[in-house]
Amino acid sequence: MVEEKIVVGEGTKYPLNGMLTIPEERNGTIPAVILVHGSGPSNMDGKVGNNYIFKEFAEGLLERGIAVLRYDKRTFVYGKELKNDNGLSVREETIEDAILAADLLRNDPRIDSNKIFIIGHSMGGMLAPRIDAEGGNFAGIIIMAGSPRKLEEIMMTQNDLALKSLNRVIRFIAKKQVAALSSKFDNIYNLTDEEAKSTPVLGKHVKAYYLKEMGEHPAIDYLKDLDKPVLIMQGEKDVQSTVEDDFEAYKKQLDQKPNVTFKLYPNLNHLFMPAIYGNILKVQKEYKVAQKVDSQVFKDIADWIHSV
């Protein structure tokens, strides 16, 4: 195994440190993937609690003959500068860097330029079809624990699940807060872009524009028109994106498309690790337990990539 330090977006305003993991011995050019983070700041190893899912993906796919490019997320490195940018959208936060990462792989003579794939986890999975359409031009798309819904819809579902887990007194208080948030979400698409940029929805830094811009580019619109191979993966015990609301929604809208493959994993959580609590209120506690991504996940991804 060779791990090479790289820089995504070198020479731009937001260069990002990254790592290219590539087999030391190769017979000709090889396929490669870029890893795209979920929501929130995250480092190149995909650290969540005491787990490092992107580092594991690099090692797990490398063993199966696939190079992996991972990098720090822009908000992880430049969060202080970006939090005051009222016009911040997923384009600046995620999409631009993923396209730059794909270009970097295309210019590497060791990589088969016709076999570059994207693996998007969680919100990264939601954005993967758009990244592909806006310049990623991947050979195929892998969506892990993603959703065809809008981000605010997912947040409201998670809030509703959390409410059901609270005792009666706390639930009464929290219900008012959730209702206030819901009313903010309901009005997002009635705002102009400029109004949205000055309207806070989550704390003082997350503006309505962030949700509006993302919501106006639904993942399902890209997927419905796509003919290239797509692999959609889901943990059965995921409480952040769920089988009922997300995986089945993908299937309902895409099941008739022969280019789309679906994989559901019993007893795995949002990180594709064994579920412990299966409770939305205990996800942080669950992620503090150091675990390993199920090896079957790596096998299925590698088999699918090699078959494309």
DSSP 198-214: T-EEETTTEEHHHHHHH
Q: What percent of the chain has pLDDT over 90?
A: 76
d(CA 275, CA 288): 12
Say if residue 237 is in the same domain as residue 159: no
Would you say residue 276 lies in a domain?
yes
Taking CB atoms within 8 Å and a gap of at least 24, the contacts of 242-245 are 242/157, 245/147, 245/149, 245/154, 245/157
The residues assigned a catalytic role are: 122, 238, 270
Say if residue 162 is in the same domain as residue 245: no
Query: Domain boundary residue among 171, 206, 241?
Result: 206
Name every residue whose Cβ is closer than 8 Å to that of residue 189 and which is 6 or more positions away in sequence. Answer: 212, 215, 216
Structure token digits, residue 102: 């794909």
CA 265, 268, 269, 272 torsion: positive or negative? negative
Does 278 or 184 have the greater pLDDT score? Answer: 278
Would you say residue 298 lies in a domain?
yes
Say if residue 41 is in the same domain as residue 105: yes
CA trace torsion 123, 129, 133, 135 (10° rounding) = 50
| Cα radius of gyration rounded to whole Å, the chain | 19
Say if residue 137 is in the same domain as residue 238: yes
Q: How many domains does the chain have?
A: 2
Say if residue 70 is in the same domain as residue 116: yes
Say if residue 2's pLDDT is above 80.
yes
- Work out the mean pLDDT of the chain and round it to a whole number: 91
Would you say residue 86 lies in a domain?
yes
CA 180, 76, 98, 260 torsion: positive or negative? negative
pLDDT digits (tens, 9 = 90+) for 16-72: 999 999 998 888 999 999 999 999 999 999 999 999 999 999 999 999 999 999 999
Say if residue 174 is in the same domain as residue 130: no
Say if residue 54 is in the same domain as residue 199: no
Q: Which of 64-78, 113-127, 130-144, 196-210 is predicted with the least confidence, judged by mean pLDDT? A: 196-210
Enter the DSSP assignment of 18.
Answer: E
As a three-state string, the secondary structure of 54-117 is HHHHHHHHHCCCCEEEEECCHHHHHHHHHCCCCCCCHHHHHHHHHHHHHHHHHCCCCEEEEEEE
Say if residue 206's pLDDT is above 90.
no
Say if residue 165 is in the same domain as residue 179: yes
Would you say residue 212 lies in a domain?
no
**Angle, CA 62 vertex, CA 57 and CA 66 arms, to 5°:** 100
Cα-to-chain-centroid distance, residue 98: 11
What is the residue range of 266's domain? 2-148+218-307
DSSP E strands, the chain? 2-8, 16-22, 30-36, 47-48, 51-52, 67-71, 111-121, 140-144, 200-202, 206-207, 230-235, 260-265
Say if residue 178's pLDDT is above 90.
no
Q: Tell me, what's the pLDDT at 234?
A: 98
Enter the DSSP assignment of 274.
Answer: B
Say if residue 26 is in the same domain as residue 119: yes
Say if residue 45 is in the same domain as residue 144: yes
Say if residue 15 is in the same domain as residue 94: yes
- Phi then psi for residue 216, to 5 deg, are -80, 0
